[in-house]
Structure 1
Amino acid sequence: YSIFMCLLMSCISGIGRATALALARCGANVTAVTRTQTDLDSLVQECPSISPVCVDLADWDATDAALQNIGTIDLLVNNAARTSLQPFLEVTQDQFDQTFSVNVKSVLHVSQIVARGMKARGSGGSIVNVSSQASQCALRDHAVYCASKGAVDTLTKVMALELGPFQIRVNAVNPTVVMTEMGHLAWSDPEKSKKMTSRIPLGRFAEVEDVVNTILFLLSDKSNMINGITLPVDGGFLAC
């Protein structure tokens, strides 16, 4: 398979970088996309087989130009995301527009580009959108982020409905707090983390590998009859 990785979050650490490296280790031809050249340079230094593309996925025209000759893509992971925490009554138009441009519009746009190629070739494919448990559970100061991930979940289902006849599967993964480098920084305070882990039956946050392994499963032939789902990777948080 040829793998197309769509990354906007830092390639220095986190789910995006770990997924790109895992796919490369599986023998995939990986194209990694992010807006920060230094992150791409670091990723390629670690894994020279990865093809880098530097573009801001929130820019529709620039994305078109950057991906117009991307080649044959069999699998796609949409991992681009941003967040800016604001109380509901203080949400600004600018923050709303920026968050939805990255978290929702870029998912739709990149998926259109890739799915058109999949349809034309008639060989099917698999798309995984990285969502969040925040799509299904209200979190304080996360009004715009929660709304954007809720949009990703519903977009995933519509994509599954419309692309399914072309044997293109579309699914989402919905992680809880993940212990990336940023996750460790944000949740290092035991009192703060206890408030969240106490609501997770397994009593802990997710590790990066927990999310990566789920993404690999949904991309693989092992999930051939799974389409249109939003799969929590949350230790039971949403179940309770």
Structure 2
Amino acid sequence: MAAQPDSERSVFDVAGRRALITGASQGIGAEIASTLARAGVDLVLSDRDNGKLATHAQDLRENCGVRVATIAADLSDPQTVEGLASAALTAFDGLDILVNNAGIAILEPVRDVRAQNWDAAMAVNLRAPALLAARVGTAMADAGHGGKIINVASTAALTPLAEHYAYCASKAALLMATKVLALELGPRGVRSNAVCPTVVMTELGQKVWGDEAKAAPMLARIPAGHFAVPSDVANAVLFLASAASDMVNGLELTVDGGYTAT
């Protein structure tokens, strides 16, 4: 899809841009992919589940008229992460947007924490997005047209949650990684920001937080009175992917209904 000249584009127009989205086969990642595709963005989608990924990609091609490539990748393996960065950059001859969405949560109390689970969380939630951002961000800077890096973190990076030891730590570290990216790549036209949602009612979120008794204490801390839905996160990503956010760099954008304000 041919992009309009920058002088003729709305600051919210992202049509013709090229994006890599990780964790794109379901939940928040699938919604981000749909939102960007409806806005005219060509997509490289990655996830471990290639079957779901292929089905979603075909739907987006047929319904949105954009180019969609898929790359199956296990982000716990650093060599696979390096390969994903290289393949994604060549799929459509470059990238304009990187959305690091993939993540895992292994919940256990501090007394039961195991090195294997800690390392798994750090590998997927921190090392993988950090490496992808370094490789893709540098490539976008070298291409000379700038770009947007958007890391999907969590309010768990800003306020502690019991039994989320590794998850909170990995997401908090991702925020600092985002700031370093903003500092180093910002002068070369690449903006780096993070989105920090509260509980999001994906299929998994519904299973964990669908019980009213369990959800009540958490909901009581959200002034908006309800949890987020995937489109809330996807719309924040769309804003950060657009030229409307060009002066936004190194930001932690909370999508939490006021949870972190209380």
Please give the TM-score of this superposition, normalised by the length of structure 1: 0.95
Give the structure 1 partner of residue 185 of structure 2.
163
Cα deviation digits, residues 40-70 of structure 1 (max 9, x gap): 1221232233210111122111232343243
Tell me if the contact between 1:4 and 1:30 (Cα under 8 Å) persists in the aligned partners: yes
Select the residue among 10, 17, 20 that pairs with 2:33: 20
Query: Higher mean Cα deviation, 189-198 or 46-55?
Result: 46-55
**Structure 2 equivalent of residue 6 of structure 1:** 21
Are 2:176 and 1:154 equivalent residues in the alignment? yes
Which residue pairs with 1:55 in the alignment?
73
Q: Could you give the per-residue CA deviations for residues 174-232 of structure 1, whole angstroms, max 9, x where no partner exists?
A: 00001111111111111111110001111110111111111100110111101001011
Match of 2:109 in 1: 87
Percent identity, aligned pairs only, is 39
Q: Which moved more, 1:159-168 or 1:67-76?
A: 67-76
Cα distance in 1, alignment partners of residues 210 and 147 from structure 2: 39
Distance 2:27 2:236 in 1: 15
Q: Which sections of structure 1, spanning at least 5 residues, go unmatched?
A: none
Q: Does structure 2 retain, via aligned residues, the 8 Å contact 1:57–1:102? A: yes
Is it true that 1:41 corresponds to 2:54 in the alignment?
yes
Shift of 1:96: 0.6
Cα distance in structure 1, aligned partners of 2:206 and 2:129: 27
In structure 2, the gaps of 5 or more residues are: 1-15, 62-66
CA gap of 1:66–1:147, structure 2 versus 1, over 3 A, is closer
Detail structure 1 runs of 4+ shifted over 3 Å in the superposition. none
Following superposition, the deviation at residue 3 of structure 1 comes to: 2.5
Return the alpha-carbon distance in structure 1 between the equivalents of residues 201 and 78 of structure 2.
Answer: 31
Q: 2:131 aligns with which of 109, 128, 146?
A: 109
Summarize deviations over 1:142-197 as a string: whole Å, max 9, x none. Answer: 01100000001111111101111101100000000011111111111111111100
When structure 1 is superposed on structure 2, of 40-49 and 143-152 the one drifting more is 40-49
1:177 aligns with 2:195: no
Q: Is the 8 A contact 1:5 1:20 kept in 2?
A: no
Give the Cα separation in 2 of the matches to 1:238 and 1:202. Answer: 12
Amino acid at match of 1:73: L
Q: State the alpha-carbon separation in 2 of the partners of residues 109 and 55 from structure 1.
A: 14
Q: Distance in 1 between matches of 2:17 and 2:116?
A: 37
Task: Tell whether 2:153 aligns with 1:131.
Answer: yes
Q: Does 1:204 align with 2:226?
A: yes
How far apart are the structure 2 equivalents of 1:19 and 1:66?
A: 19
Equivalent residue letter for 2:41: A
Q: Which amino acid aligns with 2:70?
A: P
| TM-score, length-scaled by structure 2 | 0.88
Counterparts of residues 212-227 of structure 1 (less than 5 Å): 212-227=234-249
Alignment length (residue pairs): 238
1:209 partner SS: helix
